[in-house]
């Protein structure tokens, strides 16, 4: 199921959230794939409005690090999963926020690059080799 | 490679700190690394301690074991009470783990009985086994390679782990130090294993991987000796008074028979497996290509191939564009390129095989050529996706050979041969990266050729017919009206790149109007300030230094700030 919502910051833009495929679920919120103007993002939607500190998120949006994105090997990557916009629900209350989509299949947590067991999950032979020394 | 991760991570944290934010729940699980390019991304940012523009603080809520600063652990502080010193401790811990194969800085072997089981407890007691001055209370683990770190790095770790909290190196200090190590080539390949990426060492220090392998071999030998002794004792039946006191002769005999049977089965299985492998189609890098193709080769390629295969696959190396590559791989791809260039169709399968061999031996040109063969259907079915895949592999393998791959991949994207949401932007990035790679390369002929082709490609990209994004027919995105009189088409390539990057957020989130406003603002600033000098007139090294010093201005602050920064840099150099 898809849902139409609007963002509060950066104007009234439509965000389409794909509730069918959650990317991750926590005690307080669930992260879903979403799109704004055809570009893919991640939307963190809180289970209860009371557990969402929207003032903190607004402060983050207003004061981001200098380099939210960076070029590596000619490809643009997000450097932080930094909030980009507040998401307002149909009840006119803020229910979560929009952030860059981090491709889980293409990235691994840092410990994969030095932990021998986790390193086995890396496909690249070079990266596996890096973890080989811990055998 | 891990030094690059550490450098990138330090830069990201330094950027965060410069805005008054703290990570606090700083742990490897909150840092993601992209497997293809090794780009680093910090996640779970809403858990950071945040400072608003008005100075109001929004605290963090979580902390993770192994990364709690000693003073926080001793004082049982909550996450909300912690500050930049917590981040500095955790950053140093992660850098240490990256450089030391995952070993925690406080992981060691206590020499006496200590009331500290966890790493956090040891940290709270200052039991640091890897310091420049030995701590007699705790020894490092045998696997630790901390002695292979350069002395400045070790001194920074000492400050982070046993110095007072406010003396810990800042993220910026780490970033500068690690960058200087990489820039000044303080990390080098191990002479014994120059092609193995694990064997990188600090200048004038022992190779950590060799050291580790030595320790591992010693441990294995010890284990082997133990096994041999036990086995001999078993064979001696009741002969050994030390080990056989509790065993009956009958049980020893049964055990011996069982062991021999087990070893026999293992040997049989191994021989069968080896025979099977031998019958398989040869695929490893030591296989001779000449042997496989001798039936179909004419003299023109056979003699060349025979000469190439006299070159060792492991010991011979040569310099190409200032980079050391495998000599045989280099010859393989050159021969493949000869076949491709001559359009010698019957030998395309051979060219494909040669390129694969070159790639297997670690030469990026092999991957790039495979992409080319897929792109143009040479000996294989034309497949743009596969072509893009091989070009990306070549780019990942690095400079200076990736210029062709950057050019071809950029073209595939620009010409809509492979899908892309941000076609123009992505293609431009590849072209610009290609120009950077070509500029950094030492090879004269190829450099000028690629630079021209890449420059032409960029110019074509900037033509209005290509510039308009596929999904957005409006030309406003690329060419907003400017109230300053200056137009986007008046800008140089570098100025345009800077403007596009600086307004990228506005374009993707705010839409065409926000982008137009951003572009207009930048054009106004540029119209009243100094313009960017032509960087292509500088030599490679000078240009690289200038670009590095002003990269933030270029990609984030826009062309006016970028031009100002470059001019400041030039003024400083003149003084």
Spatial contact of B441 and B322, defined as CB atoms under 8 Å apart: yes
Contacts of B422 in chain A (CB under 8 A): 39
Chain A contact probe: residue of B33, B413, B503, B550 with most A CBs at under 10 A: B33
Crossing angle of helices B403-414 and B444-461, in 10° steps, is 20
Which residues of chain B lie closer than 8 angstroms to A60, CB-CB? Answer: 45-46, 48, 50
Res. B419: pLDDT tops 50: yes
Q: Which one of B39, B198, B552 has the shortest CB-CB distance to A130?
A: B198
Q: Measured between CB atoms, which of B1, B31, B406 is closest to A109?
A: B31
**Per-residue confidence band for B19, with pLDDT thresholds at 50, 70 and 90:** very high
The pLDDT value given to residue B414: 81
Alpha-carbon gap: A43 to the closest alpha carbon of chain B (Å): 13
Q: Name the residue in chain B with its Cα closest to that of A130.
A: B198
Query: Which one has a higher pLDDT value, B454 or B15?
Result: B15
Nearest to A130 by CA among B3, B141, B216: B3
Region of B102 please: left (phi>0), alpha (psi -120 to 50) or beta.
left
Give the residue from B145, B146, B142 showing the smallest Cα distance to B215: B142
Interface residue B50 vs chain A (CB under 8 A): yes
Strand extents, DSSP E, B40-90:
40-42, 50-51, 57-58
To the nearest whole Å, the CA of B238 is away from the closest chain A CA by 37
Q: Answer whether residue B552 shows pLDDT above 70.
A: no
Amino acid B132: pLDDT = 84
pLDDT value at position B368? 87
- Give the minimum alpha-carbon distance from B392 to chain A in angstroms, rounded to a whole number: 9
Dmax (CA) of chain A: 55
Q: Check: CB of residue B442 under 8 Å from CB of residue B322.
A: yes
The owner of tokens 């705790």 is B138
B33 CB neighbours in chain A (<8 A) are 107-110, 112-113
Chain A residues closer than 8 Å to B508 by CB: 36-37, 39
Q: In angstroms, what separates the C-alpha of B456 from chain A's closest C-alpha?
A: 18
Alpha carbon distance A41, B459 (integer Å): 31
- What are the domain boundaries of chain A? 2-104, 106-135
Bond from prior residue into B272 cis (ω within 30 degrees of 0): no
In this prediction the pTM is 0.51
Choose the closest CB to B41 out of A74, A107, A122.
Answer: A107
**Distance (Å, rounded) from C-alpha B266 to C-alpha B274?**
12
Task: Please report residues of B whose CB lies closer than 8 A to that of A39.
Answer: 421-422, 508
DSSP B374-439: HHTTSSS---HHHHHHHHHHHHHH-TTTTHHHHHHHHHHHHTTSS--TTHHHHHHHHHHHHHHHHH
Would you say residue B329 has pLDDT above 50?
yes
pLDDT in tens, B195-218: 666 677 777 777 777 777 777 777
Q: What is the ipTM of this complex?
A: 0.88
**Alpha-carbon gap: A20 to the closest alpha carbon of chain B (Å):** 22
pLDDT class of B282 with cuts at 50, 70, 90:
very low
DSSP H or E stretch at residue A100:
strand A94-100
In order of A42, B17, B27, B178, the CA distances from B23 in angstroms are: 21, 9, 9, 20
The whole-angstrom separation of Cα A97 and Cα A87 is 5
Give the nearest chain A residue to B42 (CA atoms). Answer: A80
Fold of A2-104: Phosphorylase Kinase; domain 1 (3.30.200)
pLDDT at A19: 87
Which tens digit of pLDDT belongs to each residue from B342-385? 777 777 888 888 888 888 888 888 888 899 888 888 888 888 88
Q: Which residue in B42, B2, B4, B1 sits closest to B179, CA to CA?
A: B4
pLDDT at residue number B106: 95
Residue whose C-alpha is closest to residue A23's, from A51, A47, A45: A45
B97 burial type by CB count under 10 A (0-12 exposed, 13-18 middle, 19+ buried): buried
Residue B443 CA to residue B193 CA, distance in Å, equals: 26
Are the beta carbons of A59 and B51 separated by less than 8 Å? yes
The whole-angstrom separation of Cα B6 and Cα B179 is 10
Numbered ranges of CATH 1.10.510.10 in chain B: 2-184
pLDDT in tens, A5-47: 655 555 667 888 988 889 988 888 999 999 888 889 999 999 9
Which of the listed CATH numbers 1.10.1040.10, 3.40.50.10210, 1.10.510.10, 3.90.1150.10 matches domain B2-184? 1.10.510.10
pLDDT number for residue B128: 93
Is B294's pLDDT higher than 60? no
Average pLDDT over residues B286-315: 60
Q: Looking at the predicted structure, is the pLDDT value of residue B498 above 50?
A: yes
Contacting residues of A for B505, CB less than 8 Å apart: 68, 84
A128, pLDDT greater than 60: no
């Amino acid at each position: 199921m898809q849902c139409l919502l609007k963002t509060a910051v950066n104007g009234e833009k439509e965000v389409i959230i794909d509730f069918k495929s959650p990317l991750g679920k926590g005690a307080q919120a669930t992260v879903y794939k979403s799109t704004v103007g055809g570009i893919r993002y991640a939307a963190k939607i809180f289970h209860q409005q009371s557990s969402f500190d929207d003032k903190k998120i607004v402060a983050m949006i207003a004061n981001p690090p200098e380099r939210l994105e960076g070029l590596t090997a000619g490809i643009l990557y997000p450097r932080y999963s930094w909030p980009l916009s507040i998401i307002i629900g149909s009840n006119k209350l803020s229910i979560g926020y929009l952030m860059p989509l981090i491709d889980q299949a293409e990235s691994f947590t840092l410990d994969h690059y030095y932990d021998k067991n986790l390193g086995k999950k890396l496909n690249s032979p070079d990266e596996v080799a890096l973890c080989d020394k811990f055998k | 490679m891990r030094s690059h991760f550490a450098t990138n991570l330090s830069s990201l944290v330094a950027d965060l700190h410069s805005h008054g934010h703290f990570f606090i729940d700083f742990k490897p699980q909150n840092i993601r690394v992209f497997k293809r390019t090794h780009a680093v991304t910090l996640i779970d940012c809403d858990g950071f301690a945040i400072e608003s523009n008005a100075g109001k603080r929004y605290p963090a809520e979580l902390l993770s074991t192994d990364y709690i600063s000693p003073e926080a652990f001793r004082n049982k502080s909550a996450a909300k009470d912690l500050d930049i010193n917590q981040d500095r401790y955790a950053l140093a811990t992660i850098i240490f783990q990256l450089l030391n194969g995952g070993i925690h800085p406080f992981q060691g072997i206590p020499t006496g009985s200590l009331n500290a089981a966890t790493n956090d407890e040891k940290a709270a007691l200052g039991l640091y086994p890897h310091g420049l001055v030995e701590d007699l209370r705790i020894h490092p683990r045998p696997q630790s390679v901390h002695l292979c770190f350069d002395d400045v790095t070790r001194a920074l770790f000492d400050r982070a782990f046993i110095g007072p909290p406010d003396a810990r190196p800042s993220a910026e200090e780490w970033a500068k130090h690690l960058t200087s190590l990489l820039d000044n080539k303080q990390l080098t390949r191990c002479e014994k294993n120059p092609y193995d990426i694990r064997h990188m060492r600090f200048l004038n220090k022992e190779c950590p991987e060799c050291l580790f392998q030595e320790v591992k071999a010693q441990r294995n030998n010890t284990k082997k000796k133990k096994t041999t002794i036990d086995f001999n004792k078993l064979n001696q039946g009741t002969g050994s008074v030390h080990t056989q006191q509790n065993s009956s002769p009958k049980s020893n005999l049964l055990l011996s028979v069982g062991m021999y049977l087990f070893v026999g089965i293992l040997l049989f299985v191994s021989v069968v497996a080896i025979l099977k492998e031998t019958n398989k189609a040869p695929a490893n890098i030591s296989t001779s290509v000449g042997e496989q193709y001798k039936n179909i080769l004419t003299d023109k390629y056979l003699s060349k191939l025979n000469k190439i295969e006299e070159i060792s696959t492991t010991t011979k190396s040569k310099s190409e564009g200032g980079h050391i590559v495998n000599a045989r791989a280099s010859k393989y791809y050159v021969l493949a390129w000869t076949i491709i260039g001559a359009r010698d169709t019957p030998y395309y399968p051979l060219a494909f095989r040669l390129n694969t061999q070159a790639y297997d031996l670690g030469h990026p040109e092999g991957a790039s050529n495979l992409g080319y063969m897929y792109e143009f259907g040479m000996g294989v079915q034309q497949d743009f996706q596969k072509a893009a895949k091989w070009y990306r592999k070549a780019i990942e393998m690095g400079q200076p050979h990736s210029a062709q791959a950057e050019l071809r991949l950029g073209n595939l994207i620009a010409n809509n041969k492979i899908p892309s949401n941000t076609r123009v932007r992505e293609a431009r990035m590849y072209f610009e990266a290609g120009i950077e790679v070509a500029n950094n390369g030492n090879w004269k002929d190829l450099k000028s050729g690629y630079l021209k082709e890449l420059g032409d490609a960029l110019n074509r990209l900037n033509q209005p017919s290509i510039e308009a994004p596929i999904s957005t027919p409006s030309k406003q995105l690329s060419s907003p009206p400017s109230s300053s009189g200056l137009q986007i088409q008046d800008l140089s390539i570098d100025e345009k790149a800077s403007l596009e990057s600086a307004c990228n957020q506005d374009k993707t989130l705010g839409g065409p109007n926000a982008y137009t406003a951003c572009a207009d603002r930048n054009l106004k600033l540029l119209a009243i300030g100094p313009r960017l000098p032509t960087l292509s007139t500088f030599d490679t090294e000078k240009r690289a230094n200038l670009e590095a010093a002003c990269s933030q201005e270029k990609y984030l602050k826009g062309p006016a700030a970028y031009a100002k920064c470059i001019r400041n840099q030039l003024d400083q150099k003149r003084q």
